[in-house]
Structure 1
Amino acid sequence: MAIQNVNLTSAEIASLWTSYMNDSMSKCILTYMLKHIEDKEIKAAVQFALDISEKHLESLHRIFEQEQYAQPQGFTDEDVNLNAPWLFTDVFCLTYVNQMARIGLLAYGGFVSMSIRKDIRILFTEGIEETTDLYNRTTDIGLEKGVIARFPFINVPTESDYVDSKKYYSGLNPLASKRPLNAVEVSHLYMNSMTNTVGVKLCLAFAQTSPVKEVQEFMLRGKEISKKHIEIFTSKLLEDEIETPQLPDMAISESITQTFSDKLLMFHMSLLSASGIGNYATAAAASQRSDLAVDYERLSLEIARYAKSGADIMIKHSWLEEPPGTTDRAKLARTKKKQ
């Protein structure tokens, strides 16, 4: 059967829409970063990231036109002030692109698994390959420059073993000693500490450059939530004398000039919130100590509430673009009766 005769499924429509929104946002941020980055290697990596986003947008444009799919508004040149003063250090830009590549890998994996039509699967499979290349490039640069945090080292196992007691899963009783963290649990605690550290810096940058008080307060609240979560995760690591994330200098400048539109800032935070909830859900499922699972669940709820308040702000200011949806049959019937 010819591809043009196969209708897009709801999952493919959703994946295409989400991909367009994410890539159009990324294009704005990366274009601004490129104007200020001085380190040649970091600049080349960020340029590669921008090339990927622009290529994806071109592919999406073709599909939208072919399918007569109403193109999302997304984000344009109007959502970034390229004349704004320097805001991020070169190292922050490298760390940001590296972290966003991780998010992109998870997103593209989901898009591929939900797509059936061959051309859509090819599009998102290429996205995985390009984003993997981007992650590897930025990681290699970070390692060469000594500006990337390594996950903690633990002893390599010399023999396999089995759990011999239900106490392995315990951890909620404050009077009982907890077993040491296993490698899976250490990895998730460390990763979530790192992502929240990047979140703190972004919230600060967004708060000080937004002219809208509601957005400023929302971003400062996000900063405090991230700091609180970092403290919880690092305290768990320190209990077992495991090193906590030592991220490089990711300072932001003192610029208060609006750099990105508030619509873009709020969308970006909704993306990070969704990613954080996903990370916590994965960590909760993988953690076998009950106290960790409970922590991830309650912290996920806190992020969900934060995201909801952000959505309320976006709706209030008409910044929230509506995803494609099904037809409201009841509304259609009522409209027909009026006619």
Structure 2
Amino acid sequence: MENIYSKHSVRCFYKHFLQYLQDEEIKSIIEEVVVIVETIIGKIETIFEKENFPIPKGFSDKDVDLSAPALYTDSFALSFVYRGGQVIIPHYANVLQRVTRIDIYEFFSECQYSETELHKKALTLMLSKGLMDRPPNMEYPKDVEFIQHQSSLVNTWLGEKRPLNTLEITELFIEIERNAIGIILLMGLIQVTKDKEIKDYFLKGKKLAEKQIDTFDKLLKENDHFIGSPVPMEVTNSTISPFSERLILFTIVNANQVAIAALGDALSISMRKDLAAHYSLIVAEVMKYGDEGLKLLIERGWMEQPPQPIDRNEFYKS
């Protein structure tokens, strides 16, 4: 259900992008994305129909105004594909670990393959156009070394004084990149939403993303790793929303859930105590922000109920 919801929402964004893209190479990729997304949606709906499972309402062409002016530039549309791949590829990998039906396993395997090929194309095109920020470089070690088991060295390794290792640097860079793209997305949505409560919620999200960038950038600079600002992907000056309020609120709430998972991954491989403290604090803030978004969706009657098991406690009541 979650998969079809996400595909419905991104299809609306891609259809909007297609109306105004000027770069033919980027347009070609977006056209391919739309075909892939619609194929996946069709296959999911077929599976639901065979199982007599109600097809979620999700989002449709009613949630996107194709006559609205362009809200984002061509470079952002390309980045949208690239960022989407970073999220969905590991998602499919996790799903495959849990699937026991062979037909469903094959379906998700096909999805993962097509998404991986698409992500490669987006990455290649971003590199060719100079739109890709690279993580800080490091010199290769000359030999394999082991950490000596001495209390002082162990404390240093797990403490705050040790220089960042490559895994920690990579996660900090990715978090900065993810939040930078999130800010661009939010800037456009803040610009066009007419709902004051949703606008205030998005403004709060933008401040939270900026806080994360400042925190992670400071940690990198303290260790003499300067990545600079991510390549800007501009928002146009349009104030006409191409998307329904329900769609844009769902998009940010869904992105927030992705952020929690990404922060959890970063926390799991960070061995410095100060990094763990920063990640733990930010996870709590992001979770609180996500709860506020879910509350807004529910209050407006925009949240479909996920499938629920039978509540047998109801049978036990007299």
User: Which position in structure 1 is the counterpart of 2:301?
Assistant: 318
Unaligned runs of at least 5 residues, structure 1: 1-16, 172-177
TM-score, scaled relative to structure 1: 0.90
User: Which position in structure 2 is the counterpart of 1:19?
Assistant: 3
Q: Separation in 2 of the partners of 1:154 and 1:333? A: 63
Q: Separation in 2 of the partners of 1:20 and 1:254? A: 31
Report whether the alignment pairs 1:109 with 2:98.
no
User: Which position in structure 1 is the counterpart of 2:145?
Assistant: 161
Task: Letter of the 1:226 partner, please give it.
Answer: A
Task: Say which is worse superposed, 120-129 or 183-192, in terms of deviation.
Answer: 120-129
Query: Superposed, which structure 2 residues align to 1:1-339 within 5 Å?
Result: 17-164=1-148, 165-166=153-154, 167-171=156-160, 178-244=161-227, 246-331=229-314
1:224-257 deviations in whole A, cap 9, x for unaligned?
0000000000111111111225422311012111
The alignment of Structure 1 onto Structure 2 pairs a total of residues equal to 313
1:270-305 deviations in whole A, cap 9, x for unaligned?
211111111111111101111101111110000000
Q: Separation in 1 of the partners of 2:245 and 2:97? A: 33
Cα offset, 1:204, TM superposition: 1.3
Cα offset, 1:333, TM superposition: 6.1
Q: What do you get for the CA RMSD once the two structures are aligned?
A: 1.2
Task: Say which is worse superposed, 300-309 or 106-115, in terms of deviation.
Answer: 106-115
Q: Separation in 1 of the partners of 2:61 and 2:28? A: 21
User: Do 1:193 and 1:245's aligned partners in 2 also have CA atoms closer than 8 Å?
Assistant: no
Q: Separation in 2 of the partners of 1:126 and 1:332? A: 42
User: Do 1:194 and 1:245's aligned partners in 2 also have CA atoms closer than 8 Å?
Assistant: no
User: Do 1:273 and 1:307's aligned partners in 2 also have CA atoms closer than 8 Å?
Assistant: yes
Task: Say which is worse superposed, 21-30 or 182-191, in terms of deviation.
Answer: 21-30
Partner SS, residue 97 of structure 2: helix
Task: Say which is worse superposed, 67-76 or 244-253, in terms of deviation.
Answer: 244-253
Cα offset, 1:187, TM superposition: 0.2
Unaligned runs of at least 5 residues, structure 2: none
Task: Say which is worse superposed, 188-197 or 20-29, in terms of deviation.
Answer: 20-29
TM-score, scaled relative to structure 2: 0.96
Cα offset, 1:329, TM superposition: 2.6
Q: Separation in 1 of the partners of 2:157 and 2:313? A: 53
Cα offset, 1:332, TM superposition: 5.4
Q: Separation in 2 of the partners of 1:223 and 1:291? A: 24
Task: Say which is worse superposed, 298-307 or 146-155, in terms of deviation.
Answer: 146-155
After superposition, the Cα gap between the structure-2 partners of 1:261 and 1:245, relative to the gap in structure 1 and judged at 3 Å, is: farther
1:41-60 deviations in whole A, cap 9, x for unaligned?
11111112111111101111
Task: Letter of the 1:200 partner, please give it.
Answer: I
User: Do 1:149 and 1:245's aligned partners in 2 also have CA atoms closer than 8 Å?
Assistant: no
1:54-97 deviations in whole A, cap 9, x for unaligned?
11011111101111110001110111111111110101111111
Q: Separation in 2 of the partners of 1:247 and 1:51? A: 30
User: Do 2:16 and 2:70's aligned partners in 1 also have CA atoms closer than 8 Å?
Assistant: no
